[in-house]
């Protein structure tokens, strides 16, 4: 009673069109799975994107140092890397925040009142 079915006798996929349809569905499911994986699980690559778009790109590291005595009563420093007066803030973070949905603001250093 054991009978071997040939490809043309397979009860699930009888025609070439059914094989093509099954392969198309499998390929579509694989593509959707891959896109879901990239969107959900691979977010760490987005955090590795460059922050500094154009400031001192010829230097391996951008560093600025100031003496506390030279700051005066108040200093406002850029943290969004978009300021035309970098390292000082010029308010460019406002436009950056509107365009990206970010919430970055300046670093404000004030002399303590005595």
Give me the catalytic one of 43, 45, 61, 112: 61
Other Cβ atoms within 10 Å of 69 Cβ, number: 6
Q: Would you call 48 a catalytic residue per the annotation?
A: no
Residue among 60, 101, 66, 59 nearest 80 (CA)? 101
Return all residues near 31 (Cβ < 8 A) that are at least 6 apart: none
Cα–Cα distance measured from residue 18 to residue 23, given in angstroms and rounded to the nearest whole number: 9
Active site residues: 61
């Amino acid at each position: 009673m054991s009978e071997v079915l040939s490809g043309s006798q397979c009860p699930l996929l009888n025609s070439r069109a059914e094989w093509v349809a099954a392969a198309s569905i499998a390929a579509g499911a694989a593509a959707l799975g891959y896109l879901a994986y990239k969107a959900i699980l691979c977010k760490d690559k987005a955090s590795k994107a460059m922050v500094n778009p154009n400031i001192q790109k010829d230097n391996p590291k951008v560093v600025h140092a100031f003496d506390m005595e030279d700051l005066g009563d108040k200093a406002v420093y850029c943290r969004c890397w978009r300021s035309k007066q970098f390292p000082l803030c010029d308010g460019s973070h406002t436009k950056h925040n509107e365009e990206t949905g970010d919430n970055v603001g300046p670093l404000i250093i004030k002399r303590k009142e005595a």
